[in-house]
Amino acid sequence: MKQEFTRIAVKVGSNVLARRDGTLDVTRMSALVDQIAELHKSGVEIILISSGAVASGRSEVHPQKKLDSVDQRQLFSAVGQAKLINRYYELFREHGITVGQVLTTKESFSTRRHYLNQKNCMTVMLENNVIPIVNENDTISVSELMFTDNDELSGLIASMMDAQTLIILSNIDGIYNGSPSDPDSSVIREIGHGKDLSNYIQASKSSFGRGGMLTKTNIARKVADEGITVIIANGKRNNILVDLLEHPESTLCTRFIPSCEPVSSIKKWIAHSEGFAKGEIHINKCATEVLSSEKAVSILPIGITHIEGEFEKDDIVRIIDFQGNQVGVGKANCDSQQAKEVIGKHGKKPVVHYDYLYIE
């Protein structure tokens, strides 16, 4: 087997694991497990981010009365997650492979301590030859604190675990240069930095998942910027995972070219922490121009025009340019009151240090 990667994250979407009626496609699930087992036995460490709890629970429970979408998701996922992980457990056991369940929520990534705790948990699993199977804990997640979908979660996991590649399996072959249903459209095989995809991406959601192709490309871009190869491929194609690693040139998919610049562990966390931002730091035109240059610069009081929101030292804050656009996120070096007191002053310490600043 071609040993290009030693650690990969694989995200399996709802549309790969669900049949047309919304129930779990066990045949497809079994085929994917066979492929993951083959890669695992060849020495590739794999972290599996799997949707399918709701689809798994849908056929088990028949509510007495009509439920709203949140109640329905919580009920189906509570029943379905147990069924899903048990199914994975049995399928992997046939290959002599042990799996472990990791249920997480968006809040579990909100502090550096929680983030490192999760990383340590999965590192120990991999060191002991256990495949982590990760899913969002839909049973206790509330809408405003949920991941967009498991694409966002998979990006966080791939970044956190220093995977060399993230494979996002959907029910289409990749990103098309037109509508996937148009016979004249074809899959874009490679996407480099800065390529504008707005003309190609449809914002519509998938049948069973919460995210669409727009979510996938936004996540893929961010993860690729952190030096991780991202591949979007069709999980319903036979042997897709093995083919992607063994025959990358001839296997149909969209590949996002990773950045050559290494990104520190703390910057990876900050890059995915925008959802936890407690406030905003607005900067002037001069500071904006310096930030967008090649120089490594911090956010200094002299370049700040005003502060919005209340935040403590070490909280995540958004960086807003002079035109009102978000240009980055960072970890505050002081609280909001201290930041307000030094606005526009020379010779003061950075409000956000470069080491804790992620520019988009």
Q: What is the pLDDT of residue 39?
A: 96
Question: In the chain, how long is the greatest CA-to-CA distance?
Answer: 67
Q: Which pLDDT score, from 0 to 100, does residue 200 have? A: 60
Per-residue pLDDT tens for 172-206?
899 888 777 788 888 889 988 766 666 665 544 44
Instruction: Please indicate, yes or no, whether residues 335 and 216 belong to a single structural domain of this protein.
Output: no
Q: Quick check: is 268 in a domain?
A: no
Identify whether residues 227 and 328 lie together within a single domain. no
Structure confidence at residue 203 (pLDDT):
47
Q: Is the pLDDT of residue 11 over 50?
A: yes
pLDDT given at position 212: 59
Do 207 and 330 sit in the same domain of this protein?
Answer: no
Instruction: Tell me the backbone φ, ψ of residue 292, rounded to 5 degrees.
Output: -85, 0
pLDDT at 113 (0 to 100): 86
CB atoms within 10 A of CB 252: 15
Residue 326 shares a structural domain with residue 229: no
What confidence score (pLDDT) does residue 52 get? 86
Do residues 225 and 288 both lie within one domain? no
336 in any annotated domain: yes
Does the annotation place 138 within a ligand binding site? yes
In a domain, 98, yes or no: yes
Task: State mean pLDDT over 91-95.
Answer: 97
51 assigned binding-site residue: yes
pLDDT of residue 194: 63
CB atoms within 10 A of CB 356: 21
Q: Is residue 219 domain-shared with residue 126, that is, in the same domain?
A: yes
Please report whether residue 143 resides in a domain. Answer: yes
**Ranked by mean pLDDT, which of 67-76, 144-153, 155-164 comes out on top?**
155-164
What pLDDT sits at residue 207?
Answer: 41
| pLDDT the model gives residue 295 | 78
Q: What percent of the chain has pLDDT over 90?
A: 49
Per-residue confidence (pLDDT) for residue 167, from 0 to 100: 97
Considering 263, 298, 323, which residue would you say is the last residue of a domain?
A: 263
Give me the pLDDT at residue 1, please. 44
Question: Does residue 188 form part of some domain?
Answer: yes
pLDDT at 206: 44
> What pLDDT sits at residue 284?
93
Residue 190 and residue 41 in one domain: yes
Question: The CATH number of the domain where 135 resides is what?
Answer: 3.40.1160.10
**Mean pLDDT across the stretch 203-221?**
61
Q: Which domain CATH number covers 354?
A: 2.30.130.10
Residues 319 and 231 in one domain: no
Domain identity same for 309 and 184: no
Q: In whole angstroms, what is the distance from residue 131 CA to residue 134 CA? A: 10
> Could you tell me if 309 and 341 lie in one domain?
yes
pLDDT number for residue 29: 95
Q: Give per-residue pLDDT as tens, 105-133.
A: 877 887 888 889 999 999 999 999 999 99
Q: pTM value?
A: 0.82
Q: Which domain holds residue 287?
A: 277-359
Number of structural domains, the chain? 2
DSSP code per residue over 281-350: EEE-HHHHHHHTSSS---B-GGGEEEEES---TT-EEEEE-TTS-EEEEEE-SS-HHHHHHTTT-SSPPP
Mean pLDDT calculated for residue range 295-300: 86
Looking at the fold, whether 160 and 288 belong to one and the same domain comes out as no
Q: Average of pLDDT values for 50-61?
A: 86
- pLDDT, position 302: 93
One domain for residues 175 and 319: no
For the cut 50, the answer to whether the pLDDT of residue 6 exceeds it is yes
